[in-house]
């Protein structure tokens, strides 16, 4: 009888501790979501309300946009070349190599252009954005801004958001153009496909809806990546990542993973809504 | 961390908050600035409870503060000139030439001429503190908060910081709150000394009262931190040297 009671007590305690853990997890997730939503609200407020300052936005455009230009060109060229190569051999089997231009352009404009551009910018700039804000937080630079009555959302984050929204769609366009050219170089120049058919199939298959989809995706991805990466760095001290350099490094890793996954999930959602 | 803090800081006075490490001194400063909100109680600045203020009203009150952080918190991507100019560019209506004149004057006062183009990483600890002090004073605050202003500095550099602090206070007449371990030197600057222990203000009195105090806690604190009984006359007069 005593053993049964002890067993019952132990079981009850395990169940109770499990419920406690679940509750803690629920509360911390809710707190984290609330903090992220407030972060976005204050950032949008900082971006939309005057006074408007052009210089910080231009500086961020230089970091996000022109700093990523070469990487995007390089990536776009090789993605287009791989698509040209794979597409040419696959379509040749069915005697449809004339549709290579359409296959390359549609793959790039609808999917690969916006997604790969966003992933490259996350790797290059998103991680740096998170680390920069994280270091500013742990070295009390953000507190110093607060103490000087300078809104850190307006001063630090809003220029990054505006610059991201302006730069990333343009980088996506560059990626697409270079990718289409890369596909042409492989499919037409290297493998001696029909150049006229490449261009004609491309221009007849691309519609305004495809371009709209590409633009909407790149804007949404820009929004998501700046939001997630900046928030992870800005509130590095509010998460259970530890403090100091280790906390910043874990926040950066988490920001890159979270923003990359969000981009892929958002890609599916936008595609399913716009197709 | 803090419980039962009851502290009055008079206008124009220098109040030194001391206590052992981990007693909540820096947290108390963050409460005064409204960076941390208390679970209960009030932090009254000129009659306004800063812990309940938000947005524009909080910013309005914060413009009256200047802060010198323990780690100075200079913006490491900006040079000395831009660090000092930042509050003027963001919070005042001064034109760029006016900002330049004001910052150059500050650099001269702080003995930092020739360092305007340097970045924080290229400065010594003492120079960083002086840049931090110059930045904190740009908007001519009514209240200046110092968190460990001389930590990591040698005695000569510490003396320089105190000298600058005292000369600027004399000129601008600000109220100052100093968190410091630099005992007993810091006592010489203080109008009042508050001793924080286990989240409570256990004593708040003038240096003379501190010396005469019969409170066993105060006596014990003085002996523990200084290794002997405190005597005002033992100290070198920083005030007298300015």
- pLDDT tens figures, A153-187: 999 999 999 999 999 999 999 999 999 999 999 99
Domain ranges of chain A: 53-274
Structure tokens at A72: 């995007």
| Residue B36: CA count within 13 A, CB half-sphere | 15
Across the interface, whether the CB atoms of A149 and B62 are under 8 A apart is answered yes
Average pLDDT, chain A: 92
Cβ burial B110-120 (10 Å sphere, 16+ → b, else e): bebeebbeebb
What's the whole-number mean pLDDT along residues B127-144? 89
The pLDDT value recorded for residue A216 is 96
- If you classify domain B1-64+141-242 with CATH, what class do you get? alpha beta
Query: From the list B58, B70, B91, which residue is nearest A148 (CB)?
Result: B91
B35 touches chain A (CB under 8 A): yes
Q: What is the pTM of this model?
A: 0.84
Q: Is B71 on the interface with A (CB under 8 A)?
A: yes
Q: Residue B215 pLDDT more than 50? A: yes
Using CB atoms, pick whichever of A135, A136, A144 lies closest to residue B67.
A144
Nearest to A141 among B33, B58, B73 (CB): B73
**pLDDT the model gives residue A149:** 86
Q: Is the ipTM of this complex over 0.85?
A: no
Give the C-alpha separation, A13 to B53, whole Å. 44
Residues of A in contact with B91 (CB under 8 A): 148-150
In this structure, what DSSP letter does residue B143 have? E
CA–CA distance, B198 with B196 (Å, rounded to integer): 7
User: 3-class secondary structure for A162-218?
Assistant: HHHHHHHHHHHHHHHHHHHHHHHHHHHHHCCCCHHHHHHHHHHHCCHHHHHHHHHHH
Best of B30, B56, B67 to substitute, by most chain A Cβ atoms within 10 angstroms, is B67
| For chain B, domain boundaries | 1-64+141-242, 76-140
Query: Is residue B7 within 8 Å of residue B193, measured between CB atoms?
Result: no
* Alpha carbons B173 and B169: distance in angstroms, whole number: 5
Closest Cβ opposite residue B73 in set A140, A149, A150: A140
Inspect the interface and report whether the beta carbons of A148 and B75 lie closer than 8 Å: no
Does A243 have pLDDT greater than 80? no
Cross-strand bridge partners of residue B147: B179
Tell me the per-residue pLDDT of A89-117, one tens digit each, with 9 for 90 and over: 999 999 888 899 999 999 999 999 999 99
């Amino acid at each position: 009888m005593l053993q049964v009671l002890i067993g019952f007590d132990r079981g009850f305690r395990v169940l109770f501790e499990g419920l406690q853990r679940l509750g803690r997890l629920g509360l911390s997730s809710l707190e984290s979501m609330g903090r992220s939503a407030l972060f976005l609200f204050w950032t949008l407020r900082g971006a939309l309300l005057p006074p408007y300052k052009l210089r910080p936005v231009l500086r961020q455009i230089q970091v996000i946009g022109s700093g990523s230009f070469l990487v995007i060109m390089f990536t776009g060229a090789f993605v287009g070349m791989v698509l040209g190569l794979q597409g040419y051999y696959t379509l040749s089997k069915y005697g449809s190599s004339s549709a290579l231009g359409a296959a390359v352009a549609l793959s790039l404009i609808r999917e690969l252009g916006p997604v790969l551009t966003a992933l490259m910018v996350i790797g290059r700039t998103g991680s740096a954005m998170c680390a920069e804000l994280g270091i500013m937080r742990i070295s009390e630079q953000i507190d110093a801004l607060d103490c000087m009555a300078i809104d850190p959302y307006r001063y630090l984050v809003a220029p990054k958001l505006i610059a991201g929204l302006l730069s990333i769609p343009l980088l996506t366009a560059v990626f697409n153009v270079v990718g289409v050219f890369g596909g042409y170089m492989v499919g037409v120049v290297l493998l001696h496909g029909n150049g006229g058919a490449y261009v004609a199939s491309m221009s007849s298959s691309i519609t305004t809806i495809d371009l709209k989809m590409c633009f909407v995706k790149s804007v949404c991805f820009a929004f998501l990546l700046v939001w997630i990466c900046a928030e992870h760095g800005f509130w590095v001290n509010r998460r259970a990542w530890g403090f100091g350099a280790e906390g910043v490094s874990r926040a950066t890793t988490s920001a890159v993973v979270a923003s990359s996954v969000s981009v892929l999930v958002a890609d599916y959602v936008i595609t399913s809504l716009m197709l | 961390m803090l419980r039962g803090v009851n502290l009055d800081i008079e206008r124009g006075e220098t109040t030194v908050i001391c206590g052992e490490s981990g007693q909540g001194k820096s947290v108390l400063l963050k409460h005064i600035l409204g960076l941390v909100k208390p679970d209960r109680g009030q932090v009254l600045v000129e009659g306004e409870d800063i812990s309940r203020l938000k947005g524009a009203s909080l910013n309005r009150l914060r413009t009256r503060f200047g802060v010198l952080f323990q780690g100075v918190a200079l913006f490491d991507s900006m040079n000395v000139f831009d660090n000092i100019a930042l509050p003027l560019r963001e919070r005042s209506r001064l034109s760029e030439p006016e900002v330049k004149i004001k910052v150059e004057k500050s650099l001269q006062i702080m003995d930092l001429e020739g360092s305007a183009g340097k970045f924080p990483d290229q400065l010594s600890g003492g120079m960083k503190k002086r840049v931090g002090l110059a930045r904190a004073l740009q908007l001519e605050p009514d209240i200046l908060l110092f968190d460990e202003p001389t930590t990591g500095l040698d005695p000569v550099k510490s003396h320089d910081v105190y000298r600058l602090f005292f000369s600027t206070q004399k000129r601008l007449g600000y109220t100052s709150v100093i968190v410091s371990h630099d005992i007993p030197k810091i006592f010489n600057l203080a109008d009042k000394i508050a001793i924080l222990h286990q989240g409570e203000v256990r004593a708040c009195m003038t240096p003379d009262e501190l010396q005469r105090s019969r409170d066993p806690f105060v006596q014990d604190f003085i002996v523990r931190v200084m290794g002997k009984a405190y005597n005002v006359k033992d100290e070198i007069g920083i005030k007298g040297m300015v």
